[in-house]
Structure 1
């Protein structure tokens, strides 16, 4: 464990009444420290230092992660929504010696035998079937986190503990104006953002951390969400801070607009992981929700910039955090400072700043704005550049639309491939939603044509990344015929953006 976190944990042994809060009860500082120490000793006795986990959110996840920090080991967190193929790939490419699961879980794909149990935390340890010689990791690797990448195989990013703690410390500073005392982990802890901001930053801030299971939060499968269960979870744990992806924020906003009460305890709602449409942020603010949009990427240890109380600007993702520096090179956002050690299979990242592939700019006051992805921008037949993420974020703020991919390369107007939020949603309802969005867009970015997807984009079908973003090339390839057919007919919308 790094000196900063180790020292901080030592200072926290003041019998905090509810350091970790679960559906089964609370874990105070002394109990947490004892469980971390026991797990660390067990790992050392077992000769395990490169450990994968496939665990639900809960105290055991936190204990295992912090025990690995204690012994200077490597944690390879695997999301529970990874497919068996993705799990085998991650275990093979990381060189993990074992994978930890809940005791009642079946042997995971890629494992070959049960090693033993870490009884105090109800964890089973499975030996990983060796395939090749374990890959050499960059010196100092503490975490291998897998990103969705652009193919079906996730990509392993190696990070050191000092980088993770630098980001966590910046996040503590960013929230210091409200100093949340209880954080609720609503994202999987296997997600780097929740690991750093929900666990490390909360520990450094001396806050309590609620870690309910994913099912208690309301997740169903890889991307489903039962909103009434989510609301029950919020009221049960009464958090002061949470981290949301845009779709979770939309779910809360829609529920509140329909009269569902939200906890009055909420003081800091950070949202990231994808572009948030200005209209959705405006709706959240109209409800009085303390929402602060941020921006980051795995290669930079997670969060790079964040709006915060007293330093917020509409349309921006906030000011750059102290551990990072941003420069704009030919319109592309490049980040210096905190940096991953490298990717699995590579010795290190190229020297110099990280070229994010994101387009944006800094205003005179230092607020960062994201305008799109360089590789996703398409050019219309009239020579106008369109960032599809911008239009898609506005479409996704409509209650009728669950998923969207926008395209118009070389065309006189643009088409949207849409997945309705409910199977029974009529085409007329989708057309009305598009009209609402078109009213807020310049003419070159408006949607003129619509293709209704035959099924939701999913990971299993190869149309969705592991973290829920559409694989736009795959979606466009799947619906090529329907898109071409739409262009052979009169547009649904006029150039003014209203139904024709």
Structure 2
């Protein structure tokens, strides 16, 4: 039997009346949750579901369906709400999902195209807000590694994101290791701030909370303030925190920035119930963490990857090093090879359609870092060009760049946005084209891109990039770091809230007040 379900049954035996999951319209005790999971698992088995995609709002029922899939041996594919229709179609085709489970209507814009020709079955008897649609399994669907219980997709660094195949034991080990690290910090009310399709929330938030017998609070994403994957109304989130009075939550860096801003402006006082706020997804400056704590936000930074079950290292009240990514958790081993972080012991089963891994395989993370004598991980950066937004979305810049370069008016371009809330572009405008032309085309491109990869601001490069000036390689590839160092004024224009140091004798084009309105894209 699944270890997570077994532990929940033990909790239900000794504290069955304790609240396990709370939402805006429903609540499960631990006993009630087990009953719901058993009923849903039986229905899934009777219907012959083997691989199920789940698209739904945050709620206690979402977790009940998730756990029922674990119980019934159904491979679950949680679908992020920010996936474009094209990404959703690719995902369902490649993973071979035979069933779509959703709380939405068939006419919903995200799912309507993939449901063309499908017939809705009756709703779950025990959770009638969820309906099931049978899907035609594509001939090209990839096989799943043996033991796959969850297939998780991040935002995807390209338009066709990879699926990470995870086992029940690895997910359980991650949640258990987190609780071991936090043993000295009693936490009993966890607020799920992130969408449940986010593995970090699913495992580090919900599973870990349930394993320690806590109450997990699951408001709707709209109540939390979410608007797409790259925006949040912070005042809605603070209202949620004030209402539910949680002691823990998992945050992304951009959310933390918003909470700091609203508290610093005197518009919100964090409740004293907060005991532990984990932040991950992108690096957070030690100064920002210190500022957050001064304002009453007990923030601790961690590090992880979907390929490792979500969390690898974590700072806690009992073990912390400011500026580090935390101490390596007990469920995995980390080494540094040629400066790169290598993880062993709790890695994924393989990528969908890729080679299967075994327990002895080592994951090369692509992150550069150091490990000190006390087991704390210090990250230095990434070895590739991947951008990680402050909302934790992975974006390969070549993807939106290729969309922009399809237009003749865009002679050259560089997409930026690492650790920022949105993407921007530095563009050399082909002579004969206007700024209005570029703005219009960017808006067209944005219609083809999911919101986290859309271009929100842009600045014009003053001259064409060349090999002679050191901006291009011999084969014509742009030198990203050189360009950013040469034109910090342009970066500052794209992110006006940040002051970048300007040194040397750079002669970058600085947009005028008139240009500001032309280079700020209305999406």
Q: TM-score, normalised by structure 2?
A: 0.75
| Deviation (angstroms), 1:116 | 2.1
**Residues 1:126 and 1:422: Cα distance change in structure 2 (over 3 Å):** closer
Select which of 144, 147, 157 maps to 1:137: 144
1:235 and 2:242 correspond: yes
Name the SS for the 1:224 alignment partner.
coil
- What per-residue deviation string (whole Å, max 9, x for no partner) do you get for residues 17-44 of structure 1? 4211111142212221111111111111
Deviation digits for residues 411-434 of structure 1 (CA, Å, limit 9, x no counterpart): xxxx99679x999xxxxxxxxxxx
Report the CA distance between 1:454 and its aligned residue. 6.3
Q: Which runs of 4+ in 1 moved over 4 A?
A: 415-419, 457-460, 462-466, 478-487, 489-494, 496-500
Using the alignment, how far apart are the partners of 2:421 and 2:462 within structure 1? 21
Matches within 5 A, 1:90-489: 90-102=91-103, 104=105, 106=107, 108=111, 109-111=113-115, 112-121=118-127, 122-132=129-139, 134-259=141-266, 260-349=268-357, 352-376=361-385, 461=446, 468=452, 481=461
Q: Please state whether the residue corresponding to 1:372 is helix, strand or coil.
A: strand
In the TM superposition, what whole-angstrom CA distance separates every residue of 1:279-299 from its partner, at most 9, and x where no partner exists?
321211222321110000011
Match of 2:518 in 1: none
Name the count of aligned residue pairs: 433
* CA RMSD of superposed structures (Å): 3.5
1:128-185 Cα deviation digits (max 9, x unpaired)? 1332154321110100001233311111111100000000000111111112101000
1:1-40 map, 5 Å = 2=2, 4-13=3-12, 14-40=15-41
SS in 2 for 1:110: helix
* Structure 2 CA distance for aligned equivalents of residues 302 and 494 of structure 1: 38
Is the CA contact 1:170–1:322 (under 8 Å) kept in the aligned structure 2? yes
3-state SS, counterpart of residue 294 of structure 1 = strand
Distance of aligned partners of 1:172 and 1:187 in 2 relative to their CA distance in 1, 3 Å threshold: same
CA contact (8 A) 2:84 2:449 kept: no
Contact 1:115 1:127 in 2 (8 A): yes
Cα pair 1:458 1:464 within 8 Å, conserved = no
Give the 3-state SS of the residue equivalent to 1:220 in structure 2. Answer: coil
**Structure 1 residues 460 and 301, CA, compared in 2 at 3 Å: closer, same or farther?**
farther
Closer, same or farther in 2 for the Cα pair 1:171/1:47, shift >3 Å? same
CA distance in 2, matches of 1:491, 1:221: 29
Report the 3-state secondary structure (helix = DSSP H, G, I; strand = E; otherwise coil) of the residue aligned with 2:311.
strand
Residue 45 (structure 2) aligns with = 44
1:103–1:117 Cα contact (<8 Å) kept: no
Alignment gaps of 5+ in structure 2? 398-413, 423-437, 466-482, 490-500, 509-523
CA distance in 2 between counterparts of 1:483 and 1:283 reads: 40
* Other-structure match for 2:400: none
Aligned-pair distance for 1:352? 3.0
Worse-matched range after superposition: 210-219 or 130-139: 130-139
Deviation at 1:106, TM superposition (A): 2.8
Deviations 1:406-465 (A, max 9, x none): xxxxxxxxx99679x999xxxxxxxxxxxxxxxxxxxxxxxxxxxxx969x999739987
Please state how far the C-alpha of 1:52 moved relative to its aligned partner.
0.7
Match of residue 60 from structure 2? 59
Alpha-carbon distance in structure 2 between the residues aligned to 1:138 and 1:41: 24
Residues 62-101 of structure 1 mapped to structure 2, 5 A cutoff: 62-101=63-102
Kindly state the Cα deviation for residue 222 of structure 1 after the two structures are TM-superposed.
2.8
Gaps of 5+ in 1: 378-387, 397-402, 406-414, 424-452
